């Protein structure tokens, strides 16, 4: 009986990837469902958005400040987690 060596190597590597995938899948399945647990929490009475709250676009000054603040946060995260993040 002869074996196709490249095919056998492929099967061995595939088995390793499938096992890793199955282990990851098992971890995911065994974790509690956070979306389901969200239903346990209720918004306190009176909490929420006031009815007279506007839903208008940001002003130019607000947009500028948000952009600057987000840039500061991005730079902080880059410096704190250098080498951990793929890209920001």
- For the chain, the straight-line distance linking the first and the last C-alpha, in angstroms and rounded, comes to 54
pLDDT score, position 67: 95
Task: Specify the 3-state DSSP secondary structure of 84.
Answer: coil
pLDDT score, position 8: 67
Question: What average pLDDT does the structure give for the chain?
Answer: 81
Q: What tokens does 37 get?
A: 């647990």
Q: Taking the model in full, what pTM does it have?
A: 0.38
> Band of the pLDDT at 43, cuts 50, 70, 90?
confident
């Amino acid at each position: 009986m002869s074996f196709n060596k490249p095919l056998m190597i492929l099967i061995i590597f595939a088995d390793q990837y499938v096992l890793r995938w199955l282990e990851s899948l098992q971890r995911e399945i065994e974790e509690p469902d956070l979306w389901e647990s969200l239903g346990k929490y209720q918004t306190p009475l009176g909490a929420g958005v006031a009815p007279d709250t506007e839903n208008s676009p940001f002003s130019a000054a607000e947009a500028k400040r948000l952009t600057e603040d987000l840039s500061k946060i991005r730079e902080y995260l880059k410096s704190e987690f250098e080498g951990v993040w793929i890209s920001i």
